[in-house]
Amino acid sequence: MVCGANHKLGVDDRHIRNQVTEQKKVSKVVTIVNKQGLHARPIMQFVDLANRFQSQITITKGTQVVDGKSPMEIMLLEAICGTELTLTTVGADAEQALDALADLVARRFEAE
């Protein structure tokens, strides 16, 4: 397609548009409740679970936003016990991803 050229909406374009409109975005605030906070083991549990979903997953702490599928980025949050984080998921399985990840945090990453 050339910029500025007239383009009729075709079947392929409608398919792409439908995929975009089906993306759900959900968020939830969670509190890190395990005594040791987010260290390597719980971060890897989170990342392993996050990677089971197709949705984009982000974690926000204050103004810092990181990729929920990147252990190195999550480590940068320095989330100790009591830290509030906002989990945001975007995609067709966003609600399932958010529920599963929030549950993992609430269960203290099964550490205690």
Find the catalytic residue in 24, 39, 75, 102.
39
Q: Helix 94-106 vs helix 40-50: angle between axes, to the nearest 10 degrees?
A: 160
| Distance separating the N- and C-terminal Cα atoms of the chain | 57
Q: Is 15 a catalytic residue?
A: no
- Active site (catalytic) residues: 39
